[in-house]
Amino acid sequence: MASATIAPALKQPAWTNDRNVLRVLAIVFVVFVYVLPLIDDSTKTMDFMTKAMIYVFLGMGLNVVVGYAGLLDLGYIAFYAIGAYTCGILTQAFHIPQWAAVPGVVVACIIAGIIIGGPTLRLRSDYLAIVTLGFGEIIRVTARNLTIDAPDGSPMVRGPSGMANIEQWSFGGWSFTDGLNIGGMFIREQVIFYYFVTTIALVLGVFGISRLANGRLGRAWKAVRDDEDAAEAMGINTYTTKITAYIIGAVWAGLAGQLSATQQLSIAPTSFEFLFSALILMAVVIGGMGSTPGVVLGAMFVSLVPNLLRNYEWAENRYLYFGILLVVVMLFRPKGFWPATDILPWSSEKIHKWLTARKAAKAGKDLIATEEDTYE
């Protein structure tokens, strides 16, 4: 008589629980990101990863607008530009430290968000897309034409050359450029900046946004995105909900702009081309609209891939491949690589079942084989 070799265990192994796996992956990711400089702190790696983290921050912001609230914003880079220029102007004209410019950046982006979003959020999604694109171009052209001198007469905003000599972050007399000495180890500016950006991106960007998304506001966004009329019927003021999403997205982009400006210590209008709005959108869409881990991965993908492949022949056509990827994703996996509705892009339970079935089939075959032997 066959023994109980085929009876499945009643308790499933812990790894088939998607939530556990997600938790592990999240922890691994955070640990990795913080430990990275200890393994490799070359200027190249630090630069690439800092830019990737800024992209994550940008992606999370756009995720609020596109992913949660369902508004297609093709001019997102405009707020990034406003943030970068605001922090540059405030610190250079009034000689205040960067952290003091943060409220200025936030206010500027809120105002911009209201001005741009106010009249246009009532429009259909198609129109909204083109209008936001138009705004992006207006901001870019204006930035390119802008020539402002500092109060002391020296050039500050130099038209197409943008702004130079932007101040690094400093707190009470200590600036990142001074470096940090911890227990005999000297940490240079670039690494400090990397930690700074990473922490902000993770805390404010990832953690902060997902908290918002899981709260009442987030639920309101999802309701409006899924069916606006039903949401109205349920008493949600769709207009306020949409504009809140838009403004939050704007502020996030502005802060990302400030981070970029302090990373490069300069900012130029050539960085405000439509291409970059499109790239951030691709990060969100390909990663997974409305999905935090999806957008994080998408943003890192869109930022790192061109950099890592920068010196290969076919990197020349990266935008062609991105375009194709975007179309393919929309056709076959429209929710993105890591859909918001899934905890993981795969189902651990299904994998477990498949493995178990294979084991059982194999055990069955072995059993038949041994029984055949005995009946010989």
SS3 69: coil
Element containing residue 192 per DSSP (H, E) = helix 189-200
- In this complex, which beta carbon is closest to another protein, that of residue 327 or of residue 363? 327
* By CB under 8 A, residue 45 contacts another protein: yes
Q: Of the candidates 175, 199, 307, 356, which one interacts with another protein according to CB under 8 A?
A: 307
Distance from C-alpha of 374 to C-alpha of 372, rounded to nearest angstrom? 5
* Interacting span for another protein (CB under 8 A) from 101-109, 132-140, 247-255, 353-361: 132-140
Taking each helix axis as running N to C, give the angle between helix 77-94 and helix 238-264, from 0 to 180 degrees, rounded to the nearest 10. 60
Which of the ranges 30-38, 89-97, 291-299, 349-357 carries the binding residues for another protein, by CB under 8 A? 30-38
Does 271 contact another protein by CB under 8 A?
Answer: yes
> How many CB atoms within 10 Å of residue 28?
10
Binding segment for another protein among 31-39, 102-110, 355-363, 368-376 (CB under 8 A)? 31-39
Q: Which is nearer to another protein, 108 or 329 (CB)?
A: 329
> Which residue bears the tokens 């949660």?
68
Q: Is the dihedral of CA 281, 120, 103, 289 positive or negative?
A: negative
Give SS3 for 267.
strand
Contact residue for another protein among 98, 244, 258, 260 (CB under 8 A)? 260
- Least separation in angstroms between CB 360 and another protein: 25
> What residues between 55 and 74 interact with another protein by CB under 8 A?
66, 70, 72, 74
Two tokens at 132?
């936001």
b/e map 32-68, b = 16+ CB within 10 Å = ebeebbeeeeeeeebbbbbbbbbbbbbbbbbbbbbbb
Helix axes 274-287, 318-332, angle to 10 degrees: 40
Residue 102 vs 286, nearer CB to another protein: 286
Question: Does residue 316 belong to the site contacting another protein (CB under 8 A)?
Answer: yes
Gap between the Cα atoms of 132 and 66, Å rounded: 12
Which residue from 16, 161, 175, 347 is in contact with another protein, where contact means CB under 8 A?
Answer: 161
Binder among 17, 170, 210, 266 for another protein (CB under 8 A): 266
Q: Does 18 bind another protein (CB under 8 A)?
A: no
Binding mask 170-189 for another protein (x = CB under 8 A): --------------------
Does residue 138 bind another protein (CB under 8 A)? yes
Q: Check residue 42 for interaction with another protein (CB under 8 A).
A: yes
Q: What x-and-dash track marks residues 198-237 binding another protein by CB under 8 A?
A: ------------------------------x---------
- Position 111 contacts another protein (CB under 8 A): no
Contacts of 69 (CB under 8 A, 6+ apart): 221, 224, 225, 241, 242, 245, 246
Task: Determine, following the binding rule CB under 8 A, whether residue 196 of this chain makes contact with another protein.
Answer: no
**Which residues from 140-159 bind another protein, rule CB under 8 A?**
141-142, 144-145, 158-159
371 burial type by CB count under 10 A (0-12 exposed, 13-18 middle, 19+ buried): exposed
Query: Does residue 350 contact residue 17 with C-beta atoms inside 8 Å?
Result: no
Residue with tokens 């690094």: 168
If binding is defined by CB under 8 A, does position 12 make contact with another protein? Answer: no
Establish if 14 lies at the interface with another protein (CB under 8 A). Answer: yes
